[in-house]
Amino acid sequence: MKVVITGGAGFVGLRLARHLLNRGTLIGPSGNQEPIERLLLFDQTVPEFRPDGLDNRVEFISGDISDRETVFNLINQKDISVFHLASVVSGGGEKDFDLAIRVNLHGALHIFEALRAQEGSPRLVFASSIAVFGGDTMPSIVSDNTKQTPQTTYGVTKSICELLINDYSRKGFFDGRTARLPTVIVRPGKPNAAASSFVSGVFREPLAGLDFVLPVAPETIMPVLGYRSIVDGIIALHEVPGDSLGTDRAIGLPSLTVTAQDMIDALNRTAGHRRLGKISVQPDPFIEAICAGWAQDAAFDRAIGLELPRESTLDEIVQYYIEDYLDD
């Protein structure tokens, strides 16, 4: 079978690709495990050289996801699965509304229609976000049953796509499922445009010996999940029988609810013996305003019922980031 990952050159996309190659198979439209013969990693820009851990089954393709013809050329056979990760993130979406709508909404619609054009019922896993929740009436703990009143353009586009996936699946156009993600940590490399980028930076920069300015108050609270569990959860959700999802195909992945101070404490417990950069606090009103509109805690009963993987501790996340990216 052919597998397409949009946003495939990004951090999560590359880790997902490596895991899929190691697995070797996925459940295909036939309902049986099928070998992954081709893995297309689609992104706006792609690496010049093949990253480690990827073999000749992998092909990088660059292009604009808001271009219908480009997307239809990617999704052009019935024996296919799609992992749709590409997105304009929260901070970027607030600064450029038109770009967020074009990429997050129109790009997703092209994917949905390309899958609809295929025979059978190919599987789609869409990466949504806890940013679909927000507003003055948001409860202290959100769940899959909480009314969605997002307070960012990013969250609005994710919410729209969740509903469209439910409807396309109800119609039998494809077999869709949505992984509603908390903030993913710890991302290596440079910060991205997400308002939550500081949640990785508070670990990554001090571990690299660099000072870090925390743009929110230490008591700021949010749900997080480590990148290993994100990838494992996305794959596990792909493999779940569609009938077990019911009429609502969106599942909030299990998360840990922590404060910024909890993150700093976990860093010091796990890596206090290293030469760490200093952390100072200097609140950024733009970042704080976005974070204030997000959910602070989440329940994930449906994910537990589906036996999706969950994190144990924040310390564990920090430790495997050190193992994966810092220690030889």
DSSP state string for 175-219: EEEEEEE-EEE---SS--S-GGGHHHHHHHHHHTT--EEE-S-TT
**Nearest residue to 303 (alpha-carbon basis) of 149, 193, 181, 216:** 181
How much of the chain exceeds pLDDT 90, in percent? 86
Most confident of 9-18, 84-93, 188-197: 9-18
196: amino acid identity, one letter:
S
Q: What single string gives the DSSP state of each residue in 76-137?
A: --SSEEEEE-----HHHHHH-HHHHIIIIIIHHHHHHHHHHTSSS--EEEEEEEGGG--STT
| pLDDT over 90 at 106, yes or no | yes
| pLDDT over 70 at 256, yes or no | yes
How much of the chain exceeds pLDDT 70, in percent? 99
CA distance 213 to 179: 31
Q: In what order do the strands lie in the sheet with 256-259?
A: 183-185, 221-226, 256-259
Number of domains in the chain: 1
The yes-or-no answer on residue 154 being catalytic is yes
DSSP, collapsed to helix, strand or coil, labels residue 307 as: coil
CB neighbour list of residue 288: distance below 8 Å, 6 or more residues apart: 215, 216, 217, 220
191 or 247, higher pLDDT? 247
pLDDT at 265: 97
Q: How confident is the model at residue 311 (pLDDT cuts 50, 70, 90)?
A: confident
DSSP 172: T
- Specify if 196 maps to a domain: no
Mean pLDDT of the chain: 94
- Specify if 157 maps to a domain: yes
70-91: pLDDT as tens digits: 999 999 999 999 999 999 988 8
CA distance 256 to 259: 10
- Specify if 245 maps to a domain: yes
Lowest mean pLDDT among 131-140, 183-192, 215-224, 265-274: 183-192
DSSP, collapsed to helix, strand or coil, labels residue 232 as: helix
pLDDT at 56: 95
Element (H, E) at 256: strand 256-259
Give me the residues paired with residue 180 across strands. Answer: 128, 252
* CA dist list (Å): 38 to 30, 144, 168, 194, 322: 17, 34, 25, 31, 31
Catalytic residue among 154, 168, 227, 321: 154
- Specify if 280 maps to a domain: no
Task: Record the tokens describing residue 19, joined without a space.
Answer: 């895991």
Average pLDDT (150-175) is 97
| pLDDT over 90 at 118, yes or no | yes
* pTM higher than 0.85: yes
CB neighbour list of residue 110: distance below 8 Å, 6 or more residues apart: 65, 66, 67, 68, 71, 72
202-251: pLDDT as tens digits: 999 999 999 999 999 999 999 999 999 999 999 999 999 999 999 999 99
- Specify if 85 maps to a domain: yes
51-72: pLDDT as tens digits: 999 999 999 999 999 999 999 9
Kindly report the CATH number assigned to the domain that includes residue 80: 3.40.50.720
Angle (CA) 242-123-97 rounded to 5° is 110
Q: Which domain holds residue 105?
A: 2-182+226-254+298-311
**Are the CB atoms for 258 and 315 separated by under 8 Å?**
no
- Specify if 148 maps to a domain: yes
pLDDT at 328: 61
Angle (CA) 110-238-115 rounded to 5° is 25
- Specify if 202 maps to a domain: no
- Specify if 215 maps to a domain: no
How many CA atoms does the CB half-sphere of 110 hold within 13 Å? 22
